[in-house]
Chain A
Amino acid sequence: MYCRRLSLAPIFFFILILCSPVATYGGTPMEGVRDTTNKIIAIVSDPALKTPDKKKEKAGLIRAAVDERFNWEEMSKRALARHWSARTEEEKKEFIDLFGKLLERTYLDKVEGYSGEKVLYVDEVVDEKYATVSVKIVTKKDTEISVLYRVKKDGDNWLVYDISIEGVSLINNYRKQFNSIIVQNSYKELVDKLREKVEK
């Protein structure tokens, strides 16, 4: 009995070693970004979803794909920066929701105009739990737009917390705006403005 258990041990470890990378390693950052991008491209170029009455359904599908990949909380935290810690839990929740919706809508507006632009995956740099994925978008107008995704490891997944387009970081840009509104007016004013923008 004892002997038999001992002989099973190496096999057990072998299986464990085989399985462990699969269990803890959910693809590279670039694969993650590519995955989501391909999903969204498939949705926007699906002829069945191009009719006007399917517009809502299409937006819902894109939203779900984006939600999977974007870390709204991390984005909100970084966009509010020092004003984040002054917020109560409820305020934080409300802010994540509103800011997430604004970003989602901005993103939706962008991808809806998709008409066969090429997406080239240039490079990825991984450093512990952070990574960047550089992508090049070649437009129909023959211009190249360089896009940089900043991702952070969240469990098995790499989630996007910032996008830089031609060196302009989205979150840095919002941070400047938010800070200016909070300093010159108040946090409440910022939330009102956000809500107005989202509900429009």
Chain B
Amino acid sequence: MRALLHFSGDAVAKRNAALRKDRSLLTPLFGVPALFFSCILFLLCCTSLAWGISEIPASFQGENPFQAETEAHEITGSHSPGDSFSAGVRLEGEQGLKVAGLQDSQKEPPPEAGPKKQVQEEDNWMEEGKSQSPLPDPLEPVNRAFFHFNDKLYFWFLKPIGQGYEIALPILARVSIRNFFSNLMMPVRAVSCLLQGKFKGVGIELTRFMVNTSAGFLGFQDVAKIALDMPLQDEDLGQVLAFYGIGPGFYLDLPLLGPTTLRGAVGWGGQLYMNPLNYLLDEWWPNIFARTVDIVNSTSLRIGEYEALKEASLDPYIALRDAYYQFRLSQIEK
């Protein structure tokens, strides 16, 4: 599933690269990269500062009204570990809200009410699934058609190419190439962290970029993670939109791009302007070449994931839709 998600982001970018051939379309955007990179430079200078004040953002985040609101809604899920169903209930849209409301009205039951609450949930889980889908899917027939298109695209083209590539390059090389491209996408993650007020994340991303680009040989080695214990911050513009309380809209399974929501698609649109490849490679053909390598490389590392999902499911379309949505929710929650 993630394989598909992964291709999709790059595929948008690929189409964008094709658009870039049209110079007239691009001319008004030249100001954007200049501005953007000067911002990044400025941020780089502030990195040490950001590290110094990494304690402040934590409290800032706590006071953020948006976050407080989401926490209030999700209060039922985060309470006890046993309530997978309450997490499930949370996904169930309308009904989830009803249950959440019900438990909110109990005003945080005292500790001794714990078992009672669980018994209550024990009864509740039977009611789950009343609302058929938490994520609206009004375009299901169209989405299903595109799902089949993507399925064939994967099995007929991407997978065979990825398999050939897998044989040609050892795994270490492929992981390094993946690291290189993911290091390059730092601006997307840093800006997304920044827009969510996750200053520590911004600091980590910028430090990672500096360390990995220098000590990690242009990003081929992820030394920041190994040596400094600074993992990649998995943030994007879709998550930023969710952070500001914008709902997912509805489900979309786009040709070439794979599963997303209306919100996710808007996020992708914004990210097109943040892809450094567009600014680093002026000619269209190295740009296309770089993206192709990226797509084929990540495909080769993910062969088997989509197959496993398909193999284990009774309705692969719904399985993918739900897996995408659950995965996305957990990403947003972080």
Contact = CB atoms under 8 A, between A and B. Distances in A.
Contact of B318 (A109, A125, A177): A177
Contacts of A72: none
Interface of B: 1-2, 80-85, 87-88, 91, 114-115, 118, 125-130, 132-133, 171, 174-175, 222, 301, 304, 308, 311-315, 318-319, 321-323, 326-327, 329-331, 333
Given A82-B128, A102-B312, A181-B315, A130 B331 contact: no
A163 to B, nearest CB: 10
A75 to B, nearest CB: 11
A166 B80 contact: no
Interface of A: 77-78, 81-85, 102, 106, 109-110, 113, 125-132, 140-142, 150, 152, 161-162, 164, 166-169, 171-181, 183, 190, 193-194, 197
Given A140-B171, A177-B315, A181-B315, A81 B84 contact: no
A175 B326 contact: no
B81 A81 contact: no
B85 A78 contact: yes
Contacts of A125: 81
B311 A180 contact: no
A84 B326 CA distance: 23
A136 to B, nearest CB: 11
A172 B130 contact: no
A129 B122 CA distance: 12
Contacts of B315: 177, 180-181
Nearest to B324: A168
Contacts of B130: 82
Contacts of B81: 125-127, 130-132, 150
B153 to A, nearest CB: 23
A176 B314 contact: no
Given A78-B125, A81-B126, A172-B326, A177 B175 contact: no
Contacts of B114: 127-128
A172 B91 contact: yes
Contacts of A193: 314
